[in-house]
Amino acid sequence: MESPLQVKLAGFNVDVDALNEAKANLNEGYMSGKIGFTLDILNNLTPETIAASYARISRDPRPIPELRADARKDVEGSRKSCKVINFTMGHKSIAEHAVFNFDIMGLSRRAVEEVESKRLQSYLEKSQRYITMEGDFVIPKEIQGTPLETRFIQLIEMQNDFYKRNLGKITDWHHAQDYSELFRALNCVDNKDRQTGAIEGLGKEDARYALAQATQAQFGMTASARNIEELIRKLRSSNIEELKEFGEKIQDEIEGVAPSLIKYTEPVDYFTKTRGEIREYVNDLIEKYKIDIKYNMRQRVKLFKNLRRDDSIVAGMIFSSSGFSYDSALFLNEMMSFDERRELLDIADKYQKKHDPKIREHELGDRIAEFTISSSGFAQLKRHRMNTLIPQQYLVDLQYTVPDSIIQTGLAYELNQVVMCSNDLYNNLMSEGFPIMVAEYALTNANRRRVLFDANNRQAYAFCCERENLAAQWDIRATASEYHKEIQKESPLTTRKLCGKDKFYDNK
């Protein structure tokens, strides 16, 4: 079966003086040899010349435009310089001056969550809130050709059928509600077309709770050469075929464009083995101490404060590698011996090389929130990746989130049937030994996961300003509102003006 995944290099940064020189030659009407000279300039456009010239700033006193001119005149010399500085000397920051843009189409929503966890990249994604979904989906290669492939396709068709049949009914319900306050927040009180568009968006974002995480997405991605190199290495180290394929396609697209800046893209044990070995060790601890997993479906946000960093980090590793709540992870941390905690940390470092980052749990501090959130809500939360986000796997035992419009239109039972069928296939895939993420392709946007959210008060203001805003999606807005209440109890003075953008000037 042909993969729907498409990756296209859309652009990269080039020296504007080279472009201006080429334009000047063409505008002056040069022919024959001069056209060849212009083509030489265009054929040698590469972000490496900017990276090479900037790398020389610290040791060459000449003005930067002269350094760039020299780099443009000798592209091969610039590449040699970049290789020495970037790979031999290890000054990777020069690779941050080369920036690439990619068109990405046909990647599953579940895979997008993994890709967009990388912070220092920019993404703009097709919204299920503003665009009517057509039912396109990814069949994981792991499932193709197995007895479960037909059942997987039938499930996705069932999920898509709920969306297509009920979108109009859900949207009509929204049309009957009073959204005058929302229209004021959107500055469209006198614009009927924008009001209609806003209400139709509300209908789409509620109907999509039935859609699978296998649903195809498309997005634009912008990243530096330094981050592209690590992204490819991480993707190619994955045990998920779709992520591996994505890494290969990015590799193919950038091949030869900036070889002096992107080199180490082969799979590495640090990304291939570390998480699995941590999970195995944590499972052994759970078995040893006979701790039951407890599920709290009612508490959207729980705040943990006055934590010691050693405890919060070790508990974070337990949390991300199990189905434990953070409460239970902290409890297990307390039961563990000092040697067991050190051994767990040693496993996380076992395959790390000097250029590899520590696992993200090392960012966890003394105040951490645990969110229980739907896939739809997480789609909004993942955009706040400058905060520390530590997600767990999706857990069917956390139940699922139902939009009010689906309850009020009498569609809750039908959505329940869709979710139960999705959960059944998820459990079947898990029992057959498929990787957790492959099983998660079957789950819906209504299914839930837990996420640790660590933010200082400045970051909390940014999060609440965006997500408590009246125009924000209702699910993430409810999470932001609960988070607001919890941290305002903890630090009432410095969080006294927390609010959404629509209330910002009322709080001045």
| DSSP per residue, 51-95 | HHHHHTTTT--S-HHHHHHHHHH-HHHHHHHHHIIIIIS--GGGG
Q: Residue 294: pLDDT band by 50, 70, 90 thresholds?
A: low
* Residue (of 240, 135, 155) closest to 427 by Cα position: 155
pLDDT at position 253 over 70:
yes
What pLDDT digit, counting tens, does each position of 269-278 carry? 999 999 999 9
Q: Look at residue 83 and tell me if it is in a domain.
A: no
Q: What is the pLDDT of residue 296?
A: 63
Q: Look at residue 130 and tell me if it is in a domain.
A: no
DSSP class of residue 137 equals B
Name the CA dihedral angle for 208, 408, 299, 179, rounded to a multiple of 10 degrees.
80
pLDDT at position 45 over 90:
no
Q: Look at residue 495 and tell me if it is in a domain.
A: yes
**What whole-number distance in Å separates Cα of residue 375 and Cα of residue 444?**
7
Q: Residue 297: pLDDT band by 50, 70, 90 thresholds?
A: low
Q: Look at residue 502 and tell me if it is in a domain.
A: yes
Q: Compare 443 and 55 and report the one with higher pLDDT.
A: 443
Q: Look at residue 476 and tell me if it is in a domain.
A: yes
Q: Write down the residue that tokens 């329940």 correspond to.
A: 416
**What whole-number distance in Å separates Cα of residue 187 and Cα of residue 179?**
12
Q: Look at residue 388 and tell me if it is in a domain.
A: no
Q: How many structural domains is the chain composed of? A: 1
pLDDT at position 262 over 60:
yes
Q: Are 281 and 263 in contact (CB under 8 A)?
A: no
Q: What percent of the chain has pLDDT over 90?
A: 77
Q: Look at residue 178 and tell me if it is in a domain.
A: no
Q: Look at residue 440 and tell me if it is in a domain.
A: no
| Mean of pLDDT values over 422-441 | 97
Q: What is the helix (H) or strand (E) element at residue 451, kind and residue range?
A: strand 448-454
Q: Residue 476: pLDDT band by 50, 70, 90 thresholds?
A: very high
pLDDT at position 295 over 80:
no
| Least confident span in 123-127, 272-276, 437-441 | 123-127
| Least confident span in 39-48, 172-181, 261-270, 443-452 | 39-48
Structure token pair of residue 75 = 């592209």
Q: What is the pLDDT of residue 130?
A: 78
269-283: buried (b, 16+ CB within 10 Å) or exposed (e) per residue?
A: ebbeebbebbbebbe
CB-count exposure of residue 234 (10 Å: 0-12, 13-18, 19+): buried
Q: What is the pTM of this model?
A: 0.93
Which residues span the domain enclosing 467?
455-508
What pLDDT digit, counting tens, does each position of 59-69 carry? 889 999 999 99
Q: What is the pLDDT of residue 33?
A: 53
| Mean of pLDDT values over 25-37 | 61
Q: What percent of the chain has pLDDT over 70?
A: 96
Give the mean pLDDT of the chain: 93
Q: What is the helix (H) or strand (E) element at residue 220, kind and residue range?
A: strand 216-224
pLDDT at position 375 over 60:
yes
CA distances from 384 to 119, 192, 391, 449, 453 (A): 9, 32, 13, 17, 10
In this structure, how many other beta carbons lie within 10 angstroms of the beta carbon of residue 298? 7
* Residue (of 287, 467, 443) closest to 371 by Cα position: 467
SS3 letters for 91-132? CHHHHHHCEEEEEEEEEEHHHHHHHCCCCCEEEEECCCCCCC
